[in-house]
């Protein structure tokens, strides 16, 4: 049994000639205006949220465009270039990263476990020199990055602020804390 059903388009109500072309055009115009308005609101919402997100990141100190200052005197004496200070471990730890420039001098710097660099907050009276981890006994490579892990004693350093690194009478100031 094969049967074919043909659907007829809906017929206008009796006594009318159907929608006028003008009414149909007006309805399409209103729909188009509504769609454009919704899209415009969506674009504005995304733009505002993007700006707020960018502002929150900057306030958090995570500004990769801000360079770490350098000290030729420190680099010459220690054989390392300080490259980053970051609060990690839910605020309880701080890492001090450095790049080895001179292997012999860097090995002496790293072996000085009795006098680690002091990290001092520039925003308040707080500092830390309690190194939790100093990797020793390995061969340093020029150009490689190594780090110290400090206990963030009393929350001395906070992301978004600046710190000073002190070692053997030398100071490197205005280091951004990430």
Predicted pLDDT of residue 60? 47
3-state helix, strand, coil in the chain (%, to 5): 35, 25, 40
Predicted pLDDT of residue 57? 52
**Residues 160/92/86/71 CA torsion (nearest 10 deg):** 100
User: For the chain, which residues score pLDDT lower than 50?
Assistant: 59-62
Do residues 140 and 103 touch, judged by C-beta distance below 8 A? Answer: yes
Alpha helices, DSSP H, located in 68-166: 72-78, 103-111
Predicted pLDDT of residue 55? 55
């Amino acid at each position: 049994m094969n049967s074919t059903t043909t659907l007829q388009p809906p017929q206008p109500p009796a006594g009318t000639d159907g929608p006028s072309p003008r009414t149909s055009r007006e309805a399409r115009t209103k729909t188009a205006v509504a769609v454009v308005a919704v899209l415009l609101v969506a674009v504005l919402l995304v733009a505002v949220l993007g700006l707020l997100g960018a502002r929150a990141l900057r306030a958090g100190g995570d500004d990769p465009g801000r360079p770490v200052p350098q000290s030729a005197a420190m680099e010459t004496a220690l054989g390392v270039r300080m490259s980053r200070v970051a609060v990690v471990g839910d605020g309880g730890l701080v890492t001090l990263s450095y790049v080895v420039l001179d292997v012999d001098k860097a090995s002496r710097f790293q072996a000085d476990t009795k006098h680690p660099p002091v990290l001092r907050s520039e925003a308040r009276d707080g500092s830390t020199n309690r190194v939790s981890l100093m990797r020793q006994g390995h061969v340093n490579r020029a150009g490689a990055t190594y780090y110290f892990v400090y206990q963030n004693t009393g929350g001395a350093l906070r992301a978004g602020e600046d710190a000073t690194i002190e070692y053997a009478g030398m100071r490197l100031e205005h280091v951004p804390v990430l």
